[in-house]
Amino acid sequence: MSARPVASVSLDLDNLWAYLKTHGDPRWERRPSFLPAAVPRLLEVFGEHRLTSTVFVVGADAEREDGAAAIGAITAAGHEVANHSFGHEPWLHRYSRAELEAEVAKAEEAIVGAGAPRPTGFRGPGFSVTRDLLEVLAERGYRYDATTLPTWIGPLARAYHNRTAPNAGEPGRDDLFGGFSMVRGPNTPYRWRIGSTGLTELPVTTMPLVRTPIHGSYLLQLHQASPRLARGYFRTALALCRVRGVSPSLLLHPTDVLGAAEAPGMEFFPGMSVPSGQKVALLGWVLGELRRHFDVVGTGEHATRVDARLRDRDVSRVRRCG
């Protein structure tokens, strides 16, 4: 095993229809897809950097032809497939216990039906997580969750969403993306204490100290203003991670390699005015910088490497769920 510190890369395979649905755009009901354009492009970039990632798949996409084809290509390339819920509704915190059990199980069945191994990792859409959800995951044998985003900008993202979404007032959308309390969450892996068991949590890393995001869409928003700013910001984030002993868990989305014409209706999303060629170049640079300083693996492997250490840690490194 490498002596270098570990980092991980994950991809939330959110499809075009899922973005439109969250945004309140009725065109989502036609289930438009950009997977055939995005997945080969992303796998090519990963392959160029000899990088193995974890792809969080939406169950509803695993049931469709292009989604199953994507899963086949992803697993053939050696990437882990994890659970990103069935319907990609970023208000799982509103679900009952029974609804959560059905949501997780249905996504599992769709993913396995598409030819991938049964998932052991989960990420809630919209960074939505509750005690009930974590208990469901633990009971179903999941090894890790990767939902939390320890940042203070959730309410700002919600305000932007509500200003641009046509149906922002619909139930469930008034508390999207969490509250300011998220900034108090750990920025490093930890264990949830759930009854007599536990579940490893691998947060989506934010910049140490200031707790601003460093994932792909945020970098693209900065790139839209200034490419130099985006690269300097990411270099600073990695430097702080090294100094503070943070093993980065970097989050990507299909929109990180797609141009506006390939994602119609998503003009509201950060970085969509950046041409696809520039996006691919930026992603390649980001992955190269990450690999310069860290041993880069998928989220599941990252969780495996830290799990034994977490189990031996002082109880202060364990968070109670609820």
Q: What is the CATH number of the domain that holds 223?
A: 3.20.20.370
89 falls within a domain: yes
Q: Are 125 and 59 in contact (CB under 8 A)?
A: no
Furthest-apart CA atoms within the chain: distance in Å:
51
> What pLDDT tens digit does each residue of the chain (322 aa) get?
457 899 999 999 999 999 999 888 999 999 999 999 999 999 999 999 999 999 999 999 999 999 999 999 999 999 999 999 999 998 898 999 999 999 999 999 999 999 999 999 999 998 888 999 999 999 999 999 999 999 887 655 555 445 555 554 454 455 555 555 666 789 999 999 887 778 999 999 999 999 999 999 999 999 999 999 999 999 999 999 999 999 999 999 999 999 999 999 999 898 999 999 999 999 999 999 999 999 999 999 999 999 877 766 543 344 555 5
Identity of residue 298 = G
32 falls within a domain: yes
- Could you tell me the CA-to-CA distances from 159 to 27, 91, 94, 320 in Å, in that order? 22, 16, 19, 30
Following DSSP, what letter does each residue of 79-107 receive, concatenated?
-EEEE--SS--S-GGGS-HHHHHHHHHHH
C-alpha span between 166 and 265 (Å, rounded): 12
35 falls within a domain: yes
Tokens at 314, concatenated: 């002082």
Confidence (pLDDT) at 310:
73
From first CA to last CA, the distance across the chain in angstroms is: 36
C-alpha span between 139 and 254 (Å, rounded): 31
209 falls within a domain: yes
283 falls within a domain: yes
Tokens at 228, concatenated: 């130099």
Tokens at 268, concatenated: 């509201």
Q: Give the phi and the psi of residue 52 in degrees, each rounded to 5.
A: -105, 130
Confidence (pLDDT) at 181:
61
Q: Which residue has the tokens 């989050």?
A: 251
Q: How many residues does the chain have?
A: 322
Confidence (pLDDT) at 239:
98
Confidence (pLDDT) at 42:
98
Number of domains, the chain: 1
Confidence (pLDDT) at 313:
57
Confidence (pLDDT) at 152:
81
Q: Return the number of other C-beta atoms located less than 10 Å from residue 51's C-beta.
A: 19
109 falls within a domain: yes
Tokens at 59, concatenated: 């169950």
Residue-range definition of the domain harbouring residue 216: 6-320
Q: What is the pTM of this model?
A: 0.91
Tokens at 6, concatenated: 């570990």
176 falls within a domain: yes
Q: Are 25 and 267 in contact (CB under 8 A)?
A: no
Which residue, among 260, 247, 322, 253, has the nearest Cα to 290 in the 3D structure? 247
1 falls within a domain: no
Which residue, among 317, 81, 303, has the nearest Cα to 186 in the 3D structure? 317
Q: Are 79 and 52 in contact (CB under 8 A)?
A: yes
Q: At what angle do helices 216-225 and 276-293 cross, to 10 degrees?
A: 120
